[in-house]
Amino acid sequence: MFKKTLNISTSPHLVRGIGTNDIMRNVVWALVPVAMYAVYSFGLSALLILVTSMAACVLTEHVLARYSKKETTISDWSAVITGLLLGLTLPPNFPLWMAFLGGIISIALGKFAFGGLGYNVFNPALVGRAFLQAAFPVAITTWFPVYAPERFSTVSAATFTLPFLEPATDGFTGATPLSAFKFDHVTTSTSDLALGLITGSTGETCAVLIVLGGVYLAARNMMNWRIPVSILATVYALSGILYMVDSQIYPSPDFMLFSGGLMLGAVFMATDMVGSPITSVGIWIYGAVIGLLVVVIRIWGGLPEGVMYAILLGNALTPHIDNLVRPRVYGTGKTMDIRE
């Protein structure tokens, strides 16, 4: 009376049900408000940048998967995240062809060269951005005003620059709060920074929305909250000490926390699971190292912003941290009265 064949599997026969694609998709959801605000504050140019970088990443992922005779992996959403993150770290008036190129580099060099999802050492979006920073140092530091009145009717003159031509300059070079502080010693209001009223890269301006996305992911257990907390706490503590030493020379810790790409980097870039350590202790170390590097680069380095390099260096350290920090295995070491 019963069927002849039964399905068999090896234990456990239950799965919790949250899949890798679910995590990735939720990261995208968490970034949606950030992206929407970017489009609202910067207009059409920002929308075009985001669409272009996402399209470049997804397309590259698909083509490379096909080329290596594998099933396409775009359905795991990870390429969408990479594209979105890359776009959010670029100036809103960045030439589209450069953004497209950055997307290709992100996926090809940052991800597939290492073996695809799960095997990349560095955050792919930051690999792409590092390439763009090296290749187009001027374009990547040319900024666009926030809340420009005609932002929904026209796009920045630089946006449609043809490949390999000098972009038209209607942006204003080198006037982000960080460079203003570094080179001209002008401080910007922290509340303006937190609310996204000051210009910057497409998605880095509104700290409030970034934190909101982070809280959503952390609450759903899809992001390790220790990473942003440790990075931000380290930056705050170190710059706080420096500020106490000499508030004339060093920026205030509030300014450090809310300026530049720190929030976006700490919440959405450094938290890339593949590139961050696997143990909690390892993560505290990783976050502290990134925070330290951010402060060192911003204050003593040649660049106004150091979040990208700090995270890339943190990614490079991750395998070593995982090797060094191993939890004590049950039953090895002290066995009686372990709680005393």
Partner 1 sequence: MGFLNFHNNSFKHGVHPPEQKSETNGLPIRQFPFSPVIIMPMVQHLGAPSQIIVREGQEVVRGQLLAKAGGYVSVPQHAPVSGTVRKIANVPTISGKMVQGIYIETFPFSGQEVMEGKPIDHETAIWEEILQGIQDAGIVGLGGAAFPTHVKLKIPEGKHCDTLIINGIECEPYLTTDHRVMLEQSDDIFTGIRYLLKATGAKRVIISIEANKQDAADHLSARIPKDMPVTVQVVPVKYPQGAEKMLVTALLGREVPSGGLPIEVNAVVVNVATTAEIGRLLPHGRGIQERVITITGPGVKKKGNYLIPIGTPLRYVLEQVGADENVSEVYMGGPMMGVAVSNLDISITKGTSGIVIFNENDIKRPDKVYPCIKCGACVDACPISLNPSKLGILAKFEAYDEMATNYHLMDCFECGSCSYVCPSHIPLVQYFRLSKSIVRKRNAAAKAAG
| 270 contacts partner 1 (rule: CB under 8 A) | no
How many residues are recorded in the chain? 340
- The CB-of-325 to partner 1 minimum distance in angstroms stands at 9
d(CA 124, CA 26): 18
The only residue of 131, 143, 258, 284 in contact with partner 1, by rule CB under 8 A: 284
| 69 contacts partner 1 (rule: CB under 8 A) | no
Contact 255, 83 (CB under 8 A): no
The only residue of 42, 58, 76, 188 in contact with partner 1, by rule CB under 8 A: 76
How many C-beta atoms lie closer than 10 Å to residue 296's C-beta? 13
- The CB-of-338 to partner 1 minimum distance in angstroms stands at 5
User: What would the DSSP string read from start to end of 72-105?
Assistant: --GGGSHHHHHHHHHHHHS-TT--HHHHHHHHHH
d(CA 224, CA 222): 7
Helices (H) and strands (E) in the chain, counts: 13, 2
Reduce the DSSP state of residue 181 to 3 states and report it.
helix
| 68 contacts partner 1 (rule: CB under 8 A) | no
| 163 contacts partner 1 (rule: CB under 8 A) | no
| 19 contacts partner 1 (rule: CB under 8 A) | yes
d(CA 111, CA 21): 17
- The CB-of-138 to partner 1 minimum distance in angstroms stands at 36
- Can you tell me which residue has the tokens 């260096």? 313
| 15 contacts partner 1 (rule: CB under 8 A) | yes
Could you give the C-alpha distances from 245 to 184, 241, 250, 255, in angstroms and in order?
20, 6, 8, 16
Of 4-12, 137-145, 184-192, 249-257, the window that binds partner 1 (rule: CB under 8 A) is: 4-12
| 328 contacts partner 1 (rule: CB under 8 A) | yes
Of 137-145, 250-258, 259-267, 272-280, the window that binds partner 1 (rule: CB under 8 A) is: 272-280
| Per-position b or e across 63-87, b if 16+ CB within 10 A of its CB | ebbeeeeeeebbebbbbbbbbbbbb
* 220-259 binders of partner 1 (CB under 8 A): 224, 226
Of 5-13, 86-94, 149-157, 307-315, the window that binds partner 1 (rule: CB under 8 A) is: 5-13
| 327 contacts partner 1 (rule: CB under 8 A) | yes
- The CB-of-287 to partner 1 minimum distance in angstroms stands at 12
Of 52-60, 114-122, 129-137, 147-155, the window that binds partner 1 (rule: CB under 8 A) is: 114-122
Say which DSSP state 141 is in: G
Q: Which residues bind partner 1 (CB under 8 A)?
A: 1-3, 6-23, 76, 116-119, 224, 226, 273-274, 276, 278-281, 283-284, 322, 326-332, 334-340
